[in-house]
Structure formats: structure tokens, C-alpha cells
Structure 1
Amino acid sequence: MDIFERLKAAAAADWNSYVEHAFVRQMGEGSLAQAAFRKYLVQDYLFLIQFARAWALAAYKSRTLADIRAAQAGLAAILDETELHVRLCARWGLSQQDIEAAPEHQATVAYTRFVLDCGAAGDLLELHVALAPCVIGYAEIGNNLTPHGVEALAEHPYREWIGEYAGAGYQAVAAAARKHLDELAARSMTEQRFEELVAVFAKASRLEADFWQMGLEGSTQ
């Protein structure tokens, strides 16, 4: 069992509240209100700006060239991910400037600043544990929503979003992040410290669930 599986098992309730959230279930069913998805998507774009900063911080916190390259790859993946948001939002007449002018929701601020604080106050391992629910979790969600493959989604209203995270490109990003997390843990994690990292992972998972909830609340506005 790698460190990611151990963290998931130790924080199972918090993890499940995130990956099995009603927002995710409704998106998989195709019943998610467009207003909820649109609110989520705008906030997720703002979220990714802060996560790009977190990956840049990971490069700064790195002590080896391999770790710096891992941070560079993570940052590049985040920047590529924003293109999906811009493309989808354009369908509702929202420009990139419109998205960037939107105010950050409290759920966006809470999660992103938590991750940045973990990076600023902790070491590289703690930062990557805080990043893991997002980076690796979205790949798991993408897989969960495509049990018969992306092609089987046919005319599903959220096929493009689901396909992005279920696709080979993002799955490779998540696999690399998972491998790197295991390497960092092998270098510096003790069993005593594992409990501290579980607390970080659990909180990040709860904040992910809160982020989905923020989107669901958008459907009533």
C-alpha cells in the first residue's frame, strides 16, 4: 500500500465525503444543474490560479533537480487545465477576463490558502499531501464516472469535463504525482509524522467537499 492509499484509508470518511459528494453523483448522472456547474467552473478557474502558485512554491521548497522538475510538470498541468475552463465558460458568453474578474468564494479562499499555508509553514512532503486530494482525487473521480470508458458517455452533458480527468493525459499527471508523493514519504516520513499528515489530508478532503457544496448552492441562486 503506497502512502496515498494509506492516507485515504486513515481519512476514509473525509475522503468519501469528497469523491462521493452529491455534486459528483449528479454530474455523473447528468442531472447536475447547469447553474451549479457554471458557478463551480468559474470558482475552479480562480482556484487553479492559486494552485499554480502552490506548485511554484513546491519548486522553491525543492532541494533536488528531480523535485523541481516534478513541480514544473505540476505547474504546466495546472496551466493546461485552465484552458478547459475558458473553453467551457465561453459557451455561456463568459470571457477569460469575466472569469478572472469574478470574486473568490469563501470556499475557494479557504481551500487554496490552506494549501499555500501548508507549503509556506511545512516542508515539501506536507505541501504535496495537501495537494494530493485535488491532483490525484480528480483522476479517481474521472475513473469512477467512466466505468465503461469515455466513449460510452455519448451525449452526456458533462462529457468534456469528465473526459478531461478520465483521459490518459490527466491520468498520467495523477500517476506521476502519486509516485512522487511516495518518494517524498520514503525520504522523510516517520510513523509519528504520518498521523500529522493524515490530519492535513483529511482537512484538504473536507475542503474539497465544501468546494463541491459551494457549486451545488449555485443552482439555487
Structure 2
Amino acid sequence: MNTVDHVGAFDRPFSPAAGYGRGFALMRDAAGDAWRRYTRHAFVEGLKDGTLPRETFLHYLRQDYVFLIHFSRAWALAVVKSETHAEMLTAVGTVNALVAEEMQLHVGICEAAGISQEDLFATPERAENLAYTRFVLEAGYSGDLLDLLAALAPCVLGYGEIGVRLGAESGSDTYRGWINTYAGEEYQAACRAVGGLLDSALTRRLGADFVASPRWERLCRTFRTATELEVNFWQMGLTP
């Protein structure tokens, strides 16, 4: 069962939304309750108040490391799907942030817990993990950059939103390092860059009034499906 706390707080404006761009804000709204179930899942609230068991957190980190391997490949595919140098630069920067920074966060925490990088890399992939990563890759293989970004955005920007909220609300130091990573300016700058990429890609391919395009509804469905897969990923984290 997915637990959602602080429902009323979700209804208040999300402060970084403008910085993440118009396209994301509209897709987030279109995702409806799925977005709340993702960003306020019981796993997330356990990180906030420090009640999430350490072994559960490590189980999640191992799966998330495997996820990031495929997610990095998907962002590399975004380079292939790009039509401008600016699009390529943002995609390359995101790949670098994932491989050189975010994955290293996982390595450091796991090594401190006695899990070597070799063991981390060899983690068997759970079905929920496989379903999510292959959905994202397929969106890129079969579509263009917009289809791929709609599948990628919930993870990147959802973690940014979660990080900001937990950074402001958490009164526990148990998972402070994880929270600070996603609340920090470096990750938030990456979120703004991805939000900007989404907006510019929408305008370039669909026009300034991109919500009037026949493709808009399909892109929102992709975004929502990826959001639902994020909910499943958190739930997997709770069930080692």
C-alpha cells in the first residue's frame, strides 16, 4: 500500500516549478494524483523523518545504481536525438552529472556500508527496475527527443522537487547527505537545465502554443506512465 502524507502541502505552489519550466509544470499538473503518490510516497517520508530502515535504504540504493546505468544510457540517446548544439550540450552535461556525481553518491554510501562497487554493479535487476528503465529507453528508441524527455523528466525533476521539500522539512540527520545532494544548488541547476531543455524542445518541434498540438496529450501520458513507474520503484524499495 502506498502511503501519502501531508496531502494539503501538495496543494500549495511548488516553489522551484517556475525554474523548472512551463512544460514540466503543465505535465506535472496533468499527472494528477500520480505525482503526489510519487513525491510523497511512504519511502520519501521515511527519508524525511529518518524512520526508513537502513537496510531498506541500502536495498533501494543498489537498485537505483543499476537504474542510473540505464538512465545514463537514455540520456546518451538524447544526444543522438538532439537537433541543436544546445540540446546536445544539456544532454551531455546530464550524462556527466549522472555518471560522475550521482552514481558516485551511491558508491560512497554503499562502500561505507561494506558493499563494494563491484558488488553494486552486479546487483540483480528487479522487475520494477527493468520495467521502468526499458520503458524510458523504448520511448527514446521509437520516438524523438520530446518522447524521450517526457519519459526522463519525472525522475530528474521529481527528485529535485523531493530534495527541495525534504531539505526544508526534514528534522532528522539520518539521511541528510542524500537529501542535501538533491536539494543542493548543483543538482537544482541540473534540474533547471533539463526543464529549459524540455521547454525549448517543445517550442522547436511543436511551436510556442505546444499544448494545442495533437502530440501534447501523448507526451503527458508518457510523463504520467513514467511517474507511475517511479511510484512502483519506491514501493520496490520498501520490499527487499
- Flag whether TM exceeds 0.5 (same fold): yes
Aligned-partner residue type, residue 54 of structure 1? A
The whole-number CA distance in structure 2 between the counterparts of 1:118 and 1:124 is 9
Q: 1:179-202: CA deviations, max 9, x gaps?
A: 110111112234221110111000
Q: Secondary structure at the match of 2:125?
A: coil
TM-score w.r.t. length of structure 1? 0.94
Residue 126 of structure 1: how far off its partner (Å): 1.1
The 5-angstrom pairing of residues 205-220 of structure 1 reads 205-218=227-240
Q: 1:116-158: CA deviations, max 9, x gaps?
A: 000000100110111000111101000110226xxx75x6110
The whole-number CA distance in structure 2 between the counterparts of 1:160 and 1:12 is 30
Residue 36 of structure 1: how far off its partner (Å): 1.2
Whether 1:204 aligns to 2:232 is no
Structure 1 stretches of 4+ moved >6 Å: none
Q: What is the RMSD computed on CA atoms of the aligned residues?
A: 1.3
Q: Secondary structure at the match of 1:206?
A: helix
Q: 1:87-137: CA deviations, max 9, x gaps?
A: 000121001000011100111101111000000001001101110001111
Give the equivalent residue in structure 2 for 1:14.
34
The whole-number CA distance in structure 2 between the counterparts of 1:20 and 1:188 is 33
The whole-number CA distance in structure 2 between the counterparts of 1:21 and 1:160 is 19
Give the equivalent residue in structure 1 for 2:76.
56
Give the equivalent residue in structure 2 for 1:122.
143
Share of identical aligned residues, percent? 45
The 5-angstrom pairing of residues 119-158 of structure 1 reads 119-147=140-168, 156-158=173-175
The 5-angstrom pairing of residues 33-72 of structure 1 reads 33-72=53-92
Provide structure 1 residue ranges, at least 5 long, that are not aligned to the other structure: none
Q: Secondary structure at the match of 1:147?
A: helix
The whole-number CA distance in structure 1 between the counterparts of 2:215 and 2:153 is 17
The whole-number CA distance in structure 2 between the counterparts of 1:106 and 1:92 is 25
The whole-number CA distance in structure 2 between the counterparts of 1:146 and 1:135 is 17
Whether 1:185 aligns to 2:177 is no
Q: 1:6-62: CA deviations, max 9, x gaps?
A: 101111111111001110011101100112111100000000000110011000111
Question: How many equivalent residue pairs?
Answer: 214
Deviates more, 1:47-56 or 1:183-192: 183-192
TM-score w.r.t. length of structure 2? 0.86
Residue 70 of structure 1: how far off its partner (Å): 1.1
